[in-house]
Amino acid sequence: MQDMPQVGVGTFRLEDDAAHKSVVDALKVGFRHIDTAQVYGNEEQIGDAIRTQNMDRDDIFVTTKVWFDHFGNDSFIESVHESLAKLKLEYVDLLLIHWPSPNDKVPMEQYLSSLKQAKDEGLTRHIGVSNFTIAQMEKAVEILGEGEIYTNQIELHPYMQNRKVAERAEELGMKVTAYMPFAVGKVMDSDELKDIAAKFDASPAQVTLAWMVQKGYYTIPSSTNPDHIKDNFEFDKVKLSEEDINRIDELDNGERIVDPDFAPEWD
């Protein structure tokens, strides 16, 4: 069973031809993890893009996420089948709960048991969560047992390093997957990151990805620009010193970008 590549490609806010082209460009330069979600509305385009590359199924890692509208017993598994039909796949590699049920409208026991059912039925190889707080992660492990939850996908970037959640996730045996690693482009304007990047003839984006990987995080940057996609893939020319990492660590100011009205009470 393939492990999740440490750096993949996100597709949030990518629609229609833009989603298709971004995934094709990413696969061509060498990315092998594609992340989508039911609510992104682009699973079909991503499925088409993957199919055009005629890749061996075992060589690509695909993640999608179940939206909380489908947490009822009847519609959860049905929605996963619908996602697979759109993606033109027999299974995904990772199926996530996109957000915890707002105000616990659906009990966690119910939707996590449906998530485990999806795995038991072979619809996904791994299962995980996204946007879970420390208390929610702990409860999820109580419900499903240790070792079942592959990752918690959370907002994490140099300006919002989410350290308490990241540390607890790792203690609980979950990988930390960082979404929005570039803080919607803000890292490109950082004098600190530009200064570090200059040492490696690199971009602030490459420095950010190197920082993520050296800290043991997984991440899913997104772009529609082929040059930026290639740049992201070639981040590993950057080898940060401990001093470099400490400088980036000090950029943390708790600046959260994703905070919808249905979000849990953050740690």
Q: Tokens standing for 87?
A: 């993606």
Sign of the CA dihedral with 10 first, then 38, 145, and 160 last: positive
Residue ranges of the binding site: 98
Q: How would DSSP label each residue in 24-61?
A: HHHHHHT--EEE--GGGT-HHHHHHHHHHTT--GGG-E
CA torsion 134-68-38-10 (nearest 10°) is: -20
- Provide the annotated active-site residues: 40
Structure tokens at 98: 């996109």
Looking from the CA of 31 toward its CB, the CA atoms found within 13 Å total 30
Contacts of 114 (CB under 8 A, 6+ apart): 71, 73, 76, 77
Annotated binding site for substrate: which residue ranges? 98
Helices 226-233 and 204-214 cross at an angle (nearest 10°) of 40
DSSP letter string, 123-189: SEEEEEEES--HHHHHHHHHHH-TT-EEEEEEE-BTTB--HHHHHHHHHTTPEEEEESTTTTTGGGG
Does residue 2 sit in helix, strand or coil? coil
First to last CA, the chain: 33
Spell 92-118 as b/e; 16+ CB within 10 A means b.
bbbbbbbbbbeeeebebeebbebbbeb
